């Protein structure tokens, strides 16, 4: 079956699901109050230059200053080669690979300087946005680079004759001192189709320059498209059978956008008007709910455990209920190979980025290790985000990275548990009891009252009165204090309060 794009658009949130053979392939979520700033262009003021880090902090009018690295600021100080990154399709950001730069951040920027920058990475956690002075304006087929002067071709276009054809067309069309990158979508496109992109993007840059003159510092000069329109521009391909959307307003916007911005592209756009929520109708909501489970079952009966932390993501593979048919090594190999596809899928759908450690089940045979490694590498090549993968170690671990351009789904849709502080665990009832005993000793030394009231969770009270009753009585004798236990259902298991009674 062909792919489908399903849009669930509400005032407070937009969700876009990509279905492949009716199965959830990708999910994108953006909330109105947390709209992405990637691609936005700002007038900024340099507030601090850090020679030791070869970077600067730039005020762009957000709560936190943005981070500008020297390689993203050296415009006229070095030659550069432009290559389109593999994630360019989704991120709409060209990757410039620099020759070793000789410029220093303190030589090109000074505190108080006003500069035009573009947000290249979202703020993540306590980190501010990352910005660049290399402006890129994405179109359907091309990405314009008004601050660079080269022509690049997407790496995914591998045919040399096609690369040369596109390069020649763009060289003829582009204005002087105006760079362009041919996106993967441009493959096979004619000159008049590419000219539409060139003309549109040049006009857009002229409008940005005009608007900049009237914007204060710091200030927003250009705002990137909404996620719904970005998805159409960047993700829609003609092998998609249809686009289904449940908002008449967004339906009309998308229809107008496709007619004006993507002329000649055939598409099937449907307005969903049934009372049943669109994600329920297509069976997507069930899959979305599963994206927050730590344990993901494999069809064979094995499973993987996904643990996201601030520093990295750890994935553990287990045979689970699968016992195999021939021998242990065969069982392990089949489980690992099945896990490979599910891991690649989960990384993509959950949008997990950064450092990822995968603990495959140990394999004795080196050939089997190579099979699993190559299978994972092949699956990751389908990912729109750039990945880097290392060989399986002797411990059966694979170290890899996946480029993180935006928050993972868990960061967008979840928050730390207020009971355990994000640990995922709470202190056992026995541990809380012993902690209370130590605190009673401290309180007795601080406050010479005869009676102490102990307020605890009912389950902890039960352990104190039953399993730990002898220890509590012994402590009362030792401290010459009477301890009265009261319960409070509103307490968490590891919460308690000691109240001296006068």
Task: Verify that 216 and 233 share a domain, yes or no.
Answer: no
Instruction: Return the CATH number at 165.
Output: 2.40.50.140
How many CB atoms neighbour CB 421 within 10 A? Answer: 10
Predicted confidence at residue 91, as pLDDT, reads 41
Count the helices and strands in the chain (H runs, E runs): 14, 26
441 to 279, 452, 477, 480, 502: CA distances (angstroms): 57, 11, 12, 11, 17
Average confidence (pLDDT) over 450-459: 92
Instruction: Return the CATH number at 248.
Output: 3.30.420.60
Domain assignment of residue 45, yes or no: yes
Given a cut of 90, whether residue 94 has pLDDT beyond it is: no
pTM: 0.76
Task: Verify that 206 and 353 share a domain, yes or no.
Answer: no
Task: Verify that 316 and 399 share a domain, yes or no.
Answer: yes
End-to-end CA distance of the chain: 76
Q: Which residue segment(s) compose the domain that 245 sits in? A: 3-33+228-286
Q: Which of 241, 271, 286 is the last residue of a domain?
A: 286
Given a cut of 70, whether residue 418 has pLDDT beyond it is: yes
Predicted confidence at residue 114, as pLDDT, reads 92
Instruction: Return the CATH number at 482.
Output: 3.40.1260.20
pLDDT classification of 1: cutoffs 50, 70, 90? low
Q: Which of 413, 447, 478 is the last residue of a domain?
A: 413
Task: Verify that 236 and 266 share a domain, yes or no.
Answer: yes
Give me the sign of the Cα torsion angle 460, 466, 471, 477: positive
Strand pairing category for 80-83 and 219-222: unpaired
pLDDT classification of 45: cutoffs 50, 70, 90? very high
Task: Verify that 435 and 451 share a domain, yes or no.
Answer: yes
Given a cut of 90, whether residue 176 has pLDDT beyond it is: no
Task: Verify that 250 and 349 share a domain, yes or no.
Answer: no
Residue-wise pLDDT for 234-251, tens only, equals: 888 878 899 999 999 999
CB 144 within 8 A of CB 39: no
Task: Verify that 104 and 243 share a domain, yes or no.
Answer: no
Average pLDDT over the chain, rounded to an integer: 87
Q: Which of 184, 203, 222 is the last residue of a domain?
A: 222
449-481 in b/e burial notation, b at 16+ Cβ within 10 A? eeebebbbbeebbebbeeebeeebeebeeebeb
Task: Verify that 198 and 243 share a domain, yes or no.
Answer: no
Domain assignment of residue 423, yes or no: no
Helix (H) or strand (E) holding 250: helix 248-261
Task: Verify that 212 and 142 share a domain, yes or no.
Answer: yes
Q: Where are the beta strands (DSSP E) in 12-157?
A: 13-20, 23-31, 41-50, 55-59, 66-69, 80-83, 95-98, 114-121, 130-132, 137-138, 142-145, 151-153
Please report, to the nearest 10 degrees, the dihedral formed by the alpha carbons of residues 462, 467, 470, 473 taken in order. -20
Residues 6+ apart with CB under 8 A from 300: 322, 334, 335, 338
Domain assignment of residue 419, yes or no: no
How many structural domains is the chain composed of? Answer: 4
Domain assignment of residue 422, yes or no: no
Task: Verify that 21 and 73 share a domain, yes or no.
Answer: no
108 to 69, 149, 171: CA distances (angstroms): 12, 20, 30
Beta bridge partners of 497: 455
């Amino acid at each position: 079956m062909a792919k489908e794009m399903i849009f669930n658009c509400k005032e407070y949130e937009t969700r876009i699901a990509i279905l492949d053979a009716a199965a959830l392939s990708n999910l994108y979520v953006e909330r109105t109050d947390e709209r992405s700033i990637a691609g936005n262009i700002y007038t900024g003021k340099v507030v601090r230059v850090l020679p030791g880090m070869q970077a600067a902090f730039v005020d762009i009018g957000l709560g936190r200053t943005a981070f500008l690295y020297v390689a993203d600021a050296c415009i006229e100080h070095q030659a550069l080669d432009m290559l389109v990154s593999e994630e360019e399709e989704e991120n709409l950001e060209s990757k410039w690979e620099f020759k070793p730069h000789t410029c220093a951040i303190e030589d090109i920027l000074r505190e108080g300087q006003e500069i035009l920058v573009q947000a290249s990475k979202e703020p993540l956690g306590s980190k501010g946005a990352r910005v660049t002075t290399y402006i890129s304006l994405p179109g359907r087929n091309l990405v314009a680079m008004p601050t660079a002067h080269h022509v690049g071709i997407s790496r995914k276009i591998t045919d040399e004759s096609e690369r040369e054809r596109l390069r020649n067309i763009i060289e003829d069309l582009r204005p002087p001192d105006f760079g362009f990158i041919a996106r993967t979508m441009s493959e096979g496109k004619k000159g008049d189709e590419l000219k539409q992109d060139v003309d549109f993007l040049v006009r857009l840059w002229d409008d940005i320059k005009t608007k900049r003159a009237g914007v204060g510092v710091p200030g927003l000069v250009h705002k990137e498209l909404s996620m719904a329109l970005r998805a159409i521009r960047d993700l829609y391909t003609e092998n998609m059978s249809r686009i289904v959307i449940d908002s008449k307003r967004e339906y009309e916007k998308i229809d107008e956008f496709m007619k004006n911005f993507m002329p000649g592209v055939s598409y099937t756009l449907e307005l969903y008007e049934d009372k049943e929520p669109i994600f329920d109708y297509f069976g997507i909501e069930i899959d979305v709910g599963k994206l927050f489970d730590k344990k993901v079952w494999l069809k064979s009966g094995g499973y993987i455990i996904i643990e996201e932390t601030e520093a990295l993501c750890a994935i553990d593979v287990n045979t689970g209920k699968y016992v195999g048919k021939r021998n242990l090594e065969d069982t392990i190999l089949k489980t690992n190979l099945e896990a490979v596809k599910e891991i690649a899928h989960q990384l993509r759908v959950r949008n997990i980025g950064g450092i990822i450690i995968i603990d495959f089940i140990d394999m004795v045979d080196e050939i089997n290790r190579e099979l699993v490694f190559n299978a994972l590498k092949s699956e990751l090549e389908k990912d729109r985000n750039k990945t880097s993968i290392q060989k399986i170690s002797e411990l059966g671990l694979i170290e890899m990275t996946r480029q993180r351009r935006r928050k993972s789904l868990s960061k967008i849709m979840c928050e730390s548990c207020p009971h355990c502080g994000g640990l995922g665990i709470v202190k056992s009832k026995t541990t809380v009891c012993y902690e209370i005993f130590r605190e009673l000793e401290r309180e007795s030394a601080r406050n010479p009252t005869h009676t102490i009231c102990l307020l605890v969770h009912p389950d902890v009270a039960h352990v104190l009165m039953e399993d730990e009753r002898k220890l509590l009585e012994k402590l009362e004798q030792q401290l010459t204090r009477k301890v009265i236990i009261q319960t409070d259902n509103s307490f968490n298991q590891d919460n308690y309060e000691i109240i001296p009674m006068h």
